[in-house]
Amino acid sequence: MKKIIYIFSLIGLLSFSSCADELNTEPTDKVSGSTIFADASSAETAINGVYRMLYVAGWSSNWGSENCGQTAINLLADLMADDHLMKEQGQGWFYEDYRLNVHGDYSNKAGRSYSIWNFYYTIISNVNYIIASESTMGGDPELKNSVIGQAYAMRAYAYYYLIQLYQQTYKGHEDAPGVPLYSAPTVAGSEGSPRGTVQAVYTQINTDIDKAIDLLGSISVKEQTHVSHVDYYVANGIKARICLVQHDYASAASAAAEALKKPSLKVATIAELGGNNSVKTADVLWGMEIIADQTSGFASFFSHMDADAPGMYASKARQCISTGLYKLISNTDERKTAWFRGAIPSSEEENASSYTSYCQIKFKMADYTTRTGDYLLMRAEEMILIKAEAECHQKQYDAARTTIKALGNMRDSKFDERLATRTDDNTYNSDTNAPLSTLMDEILFQRRVELWGEAGRIFDMQRLGLGYNRNYEGSNHTEKVTTKNTNAASPLFILPLPQSEIDGNENITSADQNPIVQ
């Protein structure tokens, strides 16, 4: 019998620090599951181990520095699109994502196909043990509901990214092959699941996130004890994302509005955001607080982003905003100068620093000595953007205008004047470099700027069917990919299944493989 490759033992779940080349597939009875999940307190330790997975590196057999958890996936999904570029190739980390050239690595355990599959299915495998103890777990009832609710939310979260990365977007592809679904614990020798359909995956995602919201909403204190934990408000934020992809705009708006009810949550000013590196900022719904001795400063999101960090990779492979997007930003918008360099004469540009044309300065390490900065996974501003977009899709134009003003007026001193020129219309340019004219154009533009580098722009291009063009007049893209098929539904934007999954899962064969584009 073939074996599933991504099982983690319960020992690994509780003491996880990094991923080995081969995941442990030994039966979990080496540490009794009934003992570990006998009460809510010990199960809470287990869910903390799952959160740690979101920021540690080493999910592949090689190139571990570009596999630093969830923020690495956000970054690669941004670089695959049109608003974000790398000025230099460096050692190739993330540059191959940018030039849409990772499909050829599916057959080994160093590339994207394996590392991302490994990352999310390890999370799923671990939370399935927690969920399986729902009917038997003792201890404080509210803590139990909290832990089980978090586990359901994390399973929904993992499948939400898997299905977008290994298949086309939901709308119009409901019957396309999905990803294997596992809702119960797996051990060595467990039979692998088939791909099923996209719809089946989203049905599981929707069920899981609704269960998470019910459980987390049932407890008396709905806010997390630590910002790294999913609570009732974060679960609603995850649901808002999920519903937006499915074009369920009424539910997306409702869930985003619920997330925004979190006590003390507010839109942060540009000054308060600083280098977007602190979970203590008032706009943060969910984030990972990074402690110096818990992660490698070299294998981190900030080491790839902050070109001014001494000795870090970003100084040799600088991350920049596209001229197409930059030129659409109003001169009265604080983000234009606070987050990005403008055009700099070539004679004045500096090597190994951010002082080069259009370089990003939005993301900065909090401490160059310890090489640390917190990872922000969900901010209030994103929920405002989801709510505004969802309202506009439903032609609730007055509500959408009011919603987007809550962000726009915090960023642009003349936003009201700008917004007044936008017509009440839910249509939008497929040419993302075209002038803005409708209300939806404005909302989607605000999303591009506010969430640059943190939301995975390619997912938006897919769900909205946007045009894809890096080869416009004045483009600063170093890889224009003009010889590749780059429409929104291009197979380049979805990953092949890892060969190790085809080899290890008896219900998936080479005939189930996604298109491989070289």
Averaged pLDDT of the chain:
92
Neighbours of 405 (CB within 10 A): 15
Q: Which residues pair with 340 in a beta bridge?
A: 360
Confidence check: pLDDT of 5 > 80: no
Average the pLDDT over 146-161 and give the result: 98
The pLDDT confidence band at residue 295, using thresholds 50, 70 and 90, is: low
Instruction: Tell me if residue 383 falls in helix, strand or coil.
Output: helix
Confidence check: pLDDT of 63 > 70: yes
Domain ranges in the chain are: 38-185+193-288+376-509
The pLDDT confidence band at residue 2, using thresholds 50, 70 and 90, is: very low
Predicted pLDDT of residue 51: 97
Predicted pLDDT of residue 29: 34
Predicted pLDDT of residue 65: 80
Distance CA 221, CA 231 (A): 9
Distance CA 180, CA 200 (A): 10
Average the pLDDT over 41-53 and give the result: 94
Predicted pLDDT of residue 244: 98
Helices marked H in 451-490: 457-464
The pLDDT confidence band at residue 14, using thresholds 50, 70 and 90, is: very low
Confidence check: pLDDT of 226 > 50: yes
More confident residue, 469 or 61: 469
The pLDDT tens digits for 466-510 are 999 999 999 999 999 999 999 999 999 999 999 999 999 999 999
Confidence check: pLDDT of 248 > 80: yes
CA dihedral 351, 65, 14, 293 (to 10 degrees): -30
Predicted pLDDT of residue 348: 98
| Interacting residues of 71 by C-beta distance below 8 A, sequence separation 6+ | 55, 301, 375, 377, 454
**Type of residue numbered 428:** Y
Q: Are strands 84-86 and 284-288 parallel, antiparallel or unpaired?
A: unpaired
- The architecture in CATH of the region 38-185+193-288+376-509 reads Alpha Horseshoe (1.25)
Confidence check: pLDDT of 359 > 50: yes
DSSP per position, 171-239: TT-TTSB------S---TTPPPP---BHHHHHHHHHHHHHHHHHHHHSSS--S-SSTTS--HHHHHHHH
**375: nearest Cα among 477, 316, 479, 294:** 294
**Inter-residue contact 134 to 183 (CB < 8 Å):** no
More confident residue, 421 or 7: 421
DSSP per position, 296-361: -SSSSHHHHH-TTSTT-GGGTS-EEE-HHHHTTS-TTBHHHHHSB-----TTT--TTSS-STTBB-
Scan for tokens 């197979």, then name that residue.
491
The pLDDT confidence band at residue 37, using thresholds 50, 70 and 90, is: confident
Average the pLDDT over 379-391 and give the result: 99
Average the pLDDT over 312-334 and give the result: 97
240-244, 295-299, 319-323: which range is least confident on average?
Answer: 295-299
More confident residue, 385 or 186: 385
**Type of residue numbered 414:** K
Helices marked H in 350-425: 380-393, 397-411, 415-420
Average the pLDDT over 190-198 and give the result: 95
| Interacting residues of 396 by C-beta distance below 8 A, sequence separation 6+ | none
Predicted pLDDT of residue 33: 52
Predicted pLDDT of residue 25: 26
DSSP per position, 53-94: HTT----SSS-GGG--SHHHHHHHHHHTSSSEEESS-TTSTT
Confidence check: pLDDT of 129 > 60: yes
Q: Which residues pair with 248 in a beta bridge?
A: none
CA dihedral 103, 496, 483, 468 (to 10 degrees): -120
Confidence check: pLDDT of 34 > 90: no
Q: Tell me what percent of the residues of the chain surpass a pLDDT of 90.
A: 87
The pLDDT tens digits for 401-460 are 999 999 999 999 999 999 999 999 999 999 999 999 999 999 999 999 999 999 999 999
